[in-house]
Chain A
């Protein structure tokens, strides 16, 4: 592919394309070539990453006081509900120039791109991508989890010992899943959601047998307001999972 006609010419243009200074005519011709040449696309991508990384060299400067709240105020009016926003329309003034160039090159190559694997495939980014896709299946906002541990020493030993996991999903509906492993006392427990304002909401009951159990239930309060999930039983140590998001 790298010996295909046009590669040499396009390779010369790649730095200018990546820097965003190629003329419209050059850009158009290059994109036509890039659509059919994976090698040149990889080269362009490498240049574009270098150019993008140059922006990291600007000095860090703390903005004036109140900056954070001013930003949050600007995005808050439309962020009342936990909804996944659709991909935005392109606006001429806000186009992500080099990014859009790379997207355009890939878009033009869509038919060929199925087998193209980007040379940089950091596993954590794939994980993030998978996370986003998973959430998008049911328009969820996020998934969080907290370790369930023995949080009181009143009834027996084992304070701080791991006893399971609590998972919480913000979506429609939101839900909580509790898995218990190694609880020091078996029997029926109350599952209580404790919101950050300290209020307790009884969610249901769970039966722990031989120290293990699984439980799932939908929750009405926003997951972001939940500070912890507690499993309580008279004469047994409380199990608590803090939740962050």
Chain B
């Protein structure tokens, strides 16, 4: 079971197979909980969000299309959305993008098997200017609209937009040599 592919475990989850479901949860619970905790910052809420993410994954499993990305990113997108929903409900904690940016620093730890490419992305993220990195984190992790990002960053909306755009372009190319 531990060697089963993500897709086959997801198929098992969709069909309600207990062993596949358990293996799927075990395989991803640390990633899901870690992301939820990164976004909501409160362990008890993160646990509820992570549970909700798995329930949504189970509910949506039949709609998963492997052509559009791997299971991990699909599941984490669900987790992010569940976390954003939770954060929207309790707007009692101001978001500090520096916190999240710091959390994304792995501190030199070895990448998990199968996710080496994500470490290249981490390096690329670290290589872009912080002024561009923060809007990316605020948009991607917290789902904030540009106006809110601009308010937090204390810059005009147009500037926030430009930074986000340039940051993502740099991230994609991995060059970190463009303008700004």
Mark each residue of chain B from 16 to 31: 1 if its CB lies under 8 Å from any CB of chain A, else 0: 1111111001100111
A96-B74 Cα distance, complex, nearest whole Å: 9
Contact at B125–A57, with CB atoms within 8 Å? Answer: yes
Contact at A16–B14, with CB atoms within 8 Å? Answer: no
Taking the complex as formed, is B175 at the interface, i.e. its CB lies under 8 A from any CB of chain A?
A: no
A98-B168 Cα distance, complex, nearest whole Å: 15
Say how far A127's CB is from chain B's closest CB, in angstroms.
Answer: 8
Say how far A46's CB is from chain B's closest CB, in angstroms.
Answer: 7
Decide yes or no: A64 and B43 within 8 Å by CB, A16-B164, A20-B139, A79-B16 being known contacts.
yes
What size tier do the contact residues of chain A reach?
35 or more
Taking the complex as formed, is B66 at the interface, i.e. its CB lies under 8 A from any CB of chain A?
A: yes
**Main SS of chain B's interface residues?**
helix
Decide yes or no: A63 and B21 within 8 Å by CB, A58-B104, A102-B68 being known contacts.
no
Contact at A57–B122, with CB atoms within 8 Å? Answer: yes
Mark each residue of chain B from 59 to 101: 1 if its CB lies under 8 Å from any CB of chain A, else 0: 1111101111110111011111110010000000000000000
Contact at A58–B35, with CB atoms within 8 Å? Answer: yes
> For A54, A63, A83, A86, which residue has the most chain B Cβ atoms within 10 angstroms?
A54
Contact at A63–B47, with CB atoms within 8 Å? Answer: yes
Mark each residue of chain A from 66 to 104: 1 if its CB lies under 8 Å from any CB of chain B, else 0: 011011101110111111111110000111111100110
Decide yes or no: A21 and B149 within 8 Å by CB, A50-B121, A61-B34 being known contacts.
yes
Contact at B118–A53, with CB atoms within 8 Å? Answer: yes
Of the candidates B16, B25, B62, B145, the one whose C-beta lies within 8 Å of that of A71 is B25
A residues 32-70 near B (Cβ < 8 Å) are 45-47, 49-64, 67-68, 70
Contact at A141–B12, with CB atoms within 8 Å? Answer: yes
A126-B161 Cα distance, complex, nearest whole Å: 37
Taking the complex as formed, is A244 at the interface, i.e. its CB lies under 8 A from any CB of chain B?
A: yes
Contact at B8–A128, with CB atoms within 8 Å? Answer: yes
B residues 1-48 near A (Cβ < 8 Å) are 1, 5, 7-8, 11-22, 25-26, 29-35, 37-38, 43, 46-47
What size tier do the contact residues of chain B reach?
35 or more
Say how far B95's CB is from chain A's closest CB, in angstroms.
Answer: 15
Mark each residue of chain A from 162 to 175: 1 if its CB lies under 8 Å from any CB of chain B, else 0: 00000000100000
Say how far B108's CB is from chain A's closest CB, in angstroms.
Answer: 13
A122-B67 Cα distance, complex, nearest whole Å: 8
Contact at A59–B25, with CB atoms within 8 Å? Answer: no
> For B22, B67, B82, B171, which residue has the most chain A Cβ atoms within 10 angstroms?
B67
Chain A residue numbers with a CB within 8 Å of B81 are 94-97
**Main SS of chain A's interface residues?**
helix
Taking the complex as formed, is A19 at the interface, i.e. its CB lies under 8 A from any CB of chain B?
A: yes
- Which of A129-137, A178-186, A206-214 contacts its partner? A129-137
Say how far B38's CB is from chain A's closest CB, in angstroms.
Answer: 4
Residue of A nearest to B67 (CB): A118
Contact at A142–B136, with CB atoms within 8 Å? Answer: no
Taking the complex as formed, is A30 at the interface, i.e. its CB lies under 8 A from any CB of chain B?
A: no
Contact at B19–A56, with CB atoms within 8 Å? Answer: no
Say how far A149's CB is from chain B's closest CB, in angstroms.
Answer: 18
Decide yes or no: A58 and B19 within 8 Å by CB, A19-B140, A96-B60 being known contacts.
no
Q: A15-B168, A51-B168, A142-B20 provided; 7 other pairs, C-beta below 8 A?
A: A57-B118, A68-B29, A84-B15, A94-B59, A96-B78, A97-B77, A142-B17
